[in-house]
Amino acid sequence: MAKMTAVDAAVLVLEREGIDIAFGLPGAAINPFYAAMRKRGTIRHVLARHVEGASHMADGYSRAKAGNIGVCIGTSGPAGTDMITGLYAAQADSIPMLCITGQAPRARLYKEDFQAVDIEAISKPVTKWSCTVREPALVPRAFQQAFHVMKSGRPGPVLLDLPIDVQMAEIEFDIDTYEPLPVYKPAATLKQARKALEMLNAAERPLFVAGGGIINADASELMVELAELTGVPVIPTLMGWGIIPDDHPLMAGMAGLQTSHRYGNATLLKSDFVFGIGNRWANRHTGSVEVYTKDRKFVHVDIEPTQIGRVFGPDLGIVSDAKVALELFIQAAKELKAEGKLQDRSAWAAECLHRKHTMLRKSHFDDVPLKPQRVYEEMNECLDADTCYVTTIGLSQIAGAQFLKVQKPRNWINCGQAGPLGWTLPAALGVRAADPNRKIVALSGDYDFQFMIEELAVGAQHKLPYLHVVVNNSYLGLIRQAQRGFQMDYEVSLAFENINAKEDGDSVPGYGVDHVAVAEGLGCKGVRVKTPNEFKDAFVRAQQLMEEHQVPVVLEFILERVTNIAMGTEINAINEFEEVLDLETSVAKS
């Protein structure tokens, strides 16, 4: 045993748990923790410009690679409350993340001390566990428990709140005997797997729905193996996009009200059996339960017991980690095949593939100002299959999901259920910090981009280069489109005449914020695109600037002010605002 401060012990535990980077902002109530990190020198720190930004960086870091745990650090009071949106985003999407906050000394708790707030109580609804550690000797064990809780069962975030006197108190702790706690994951049984495969085998038009739990379990290859073994097409959820490559013949498209393909919705509506793995039947995927479930049976596999039956009762529910379950499903399918009982799905798969080749939306428009569909068409041509897209919410995300191509797991990093504006930029920095060699393209509308635009300075300071595509229509586009139902266009325009716009420059009259100028003022680079003939040169130029300067590069596309992206209130009633390709054109293009 050795004597040390409680925060010295905490930093040692972080090291043993594999933490080598943290995102945050120092402050009076957390300075002892920062002093312990500085003394050890083993944990790199990225200084954010806003604590919410730091929490999204930690979130992006966690999502970037299997096994990653992002760490966010802040002082007391508003630092903790600023983390709440980040905690909510991580909790909603089952992302492990550790937030550490300073706190007033124990004697001053509940006495309205400066920047003292009950962050434990505030954060409990958006964390797996939240704890103000009131005894110094408990600090290293609280951190040990935090990692156990974050990783066990359904992953999620944890917040540890450390009063300043607890941080500085001396304790005895033996790091040499420290071991991480075993992680608990529920596991399916072979009996359950056999039953599920028998149900699938009895169906005529079965589908797999592959959710983000498969990516969390690092089991995408197993999902593809099961699909190929059974011949059953796969519909990924938005959080599961990339589990099966877009160009795989068994990738049947995404279904849903917004981030969906025409062929994906049509195929799901043709199915009679849906086998969901690691998904939660999100409402933007299903629409109404009545339409989604009509005339089809369901198997639902999820790591969290309370997810089974939460939205609707499946015909069979299995509580299991996705990787364990997939291994058993593959075993059961091989047994059925060996017994000569596995159905031939080639005709059904060919029917789904035909829809994939023919039920397309038009993307090639030559309009000026630009139509967003053309931007994504050009991105598909200019960016390769290794590109990792990072995005959150809005018409930019919805159109991206309708038109982009994703070929690998964790190459679509999307804040799904919470969808906070501003998430994209700091999350992309977190992804970059996790992998210095990855090709990262963030995707934002102008409003999402403006929410946390100050974090560009973090990318410049810490040399975290990535490409940020901003599709700018100077509108809250998704809200404007939603307001059509109320016959209004109210307080959703971002347009104004910028008094600093130069007549001989390339800024756009009436579009308000000059994103390129702001990016350059924050130490980054920017390129603006106004016409279709500029696309390819702009991507080359942006890549050159990023490689030369090692900073984020903003690539802004000036869109038409009003564009309605395909969506609807039911998966069988999607409103296609733009023309769709006819059969002959579709077949020729495919």
Beta strand residue intervals within 259-417, DSSP E:
273-277, 297-302, 316-319, 388-391, 412-414
Q: Residue 584 above 80 pLDDT?
A: no
Neighbour-count burial of 239, counting CB atoms closer than 10 A to its CB (0-12 exposed, 13-18 middle, 19+ buried): buried
- The percentage of the chain sitting over the pLDDT mark of 90, rounded to a whole number, equals 85
Q: Residue 481 above 80 pLDDT?
A: yes
pLDDT tens digits, residue range 186-236? 999 999 999 999 999 999 999 999 999 999 999 999 999 999 999 999 999
Beta strand residue intervals within 17-96, DSSP E:
21-24, 44-47, 70-74
Query: How far apart are alpha carbons 7 and 14 in whole angstroms?
Result: 10
- Which pLDDT score is estimated for 163? 97
Section 473-485 average pLDDT: 82
The answer to whether 570 touches 532, Cβ cutoff 8 Å, is no
pLDDT tens digits, residue range 278-330? 999 999 999 999 999 999 999 999 999 999 999 999 999 999 999 999 999 99
pLDDT tens digits, residue range 117-146? 999 999 999 999 999 999 999 999 999 999
- The percentage of the chain sitting over the pLDDT mark of 70, rounded to a whole number, equals 98
Query: How far apart are alpha carbons 239 and 89 in whole angstroms?
Result: 13
Reported confidence tier of residue 587, pLDDT bands at 50, 70, 90: very low
Highest mean pLDDT (candidates 216-225, 368-377, 569-578): 216-225
Which structural domains are found in the chain, ordered by start? 2-177 (3.40.50.970), 190-358 (3.40.50.1220), 372-565 (3.40.50.970)
- Which pLDDT score is estimated for 586? 42
- Which pLDDT score is estimated for 583? 53
Query: How far apart are alpha carbons 286 and 265 in whole angstroms?
Result: 10
Amino acid at site 209: V
When the pLDDT of each residue in the chain is averaged and rounded to a whole number, the result is: 93
- Which pLDDT score is estimated for 529? 94
What's the longest Cα–Cα distance across the chain?
77
Beta strand residue intervals within 377-487, DSSP E:
388-391, 412-414, 440-445, 467-472
- Which pLDDT score is estimated for 492? 81
The string of DSSP letters for 236-291 reads E-GGGTTSS-TTSTTB----SSSS--HHHHHHHHH-SEEEEES----HHHHSSHHH
Beta strand residue intervals within 482-542, DSSP E:
525-529
